[in-house]
Amino acid sequence: MRLKEPKDLFLFELSAIYTGEKAIAEMLKDVAGDVDNDNLAKMLKAHQRETKDQAKMLESCFQHLGESPMDVPCGVIDALRAEYREFVSQKPSPQVLTMFALGGALKVEHFEIATYRGLVDKAMMMGDTELAQNLKTILNQEEETAGKLERFANELDHKVLVPA
């Protein structure tokens, strides 16, 4: 597809986050199995299910537009996955791996939030309120997940980093 019109940019970005959501779902499964904190593992598994549902919601967005997803990589998620793999290869302690995984999950959420905010704005400006609402639903889920992860990270960091 040639990228000439603003709608082409929208489809490119929508395709990239669709690719990203599918990769995130795979990554969440792996990371949940790696961490040594049961509460975090449960949060990651729950978010994995939500992420799979979000990918399905994106498929319905493409159907609504009468388009198919473009074959577009999601470079940010690819880079975060590579960073995680490199970190794991260094054989960190379980506690340090858990802290790193939590920080990585927050990076993913903030990337998703920025992406969905841009897509919601573009959909609204294109006059497609139904599409904007569907994307806003995903955005709200991402913001809620980020809040949960931030609170959890604060508690964990306080236990680990603050001297007694």
Instruction: Report how far residue 2's alpha carbon sits from residue 151's, in angstroms, rounded to the nearest whole number.
Output: 43
Residue 164 has pLDDT above 80, yes or no: no
- In whole angstroms, what is the distance from residue 164 CA to residue 146 CA? 28
The pLDDT of residue 1: 59
Tens digits of residue pLDDT in 14-38: 999 999 999 999 999 999 999 999 9
Residue 14: HSE in the Cβ half-sphere, 13 Å Cα cutoff = 30
In this predicted structure, the answer to whether residue 149 has a pLDDT above a threshold of 80 is yes
> Does 102 have pLDDT greater than 90?
yes
pTM for this model (two decimals): 0.93
Matching CATH number, 6-159, of 3.40.50.40, 1.10.357.10, 1.20.1260.10, 3.30.70.360 = 1.20.1260.10
Mean pLDDT of 110-120: 98
Mind listing the pLDDT tens digit for each residue in 54-76? Answer: 999 999 999 999 999 999 999 99
- Alpha-carbon span 10 to 120, nearest angstrom: 10
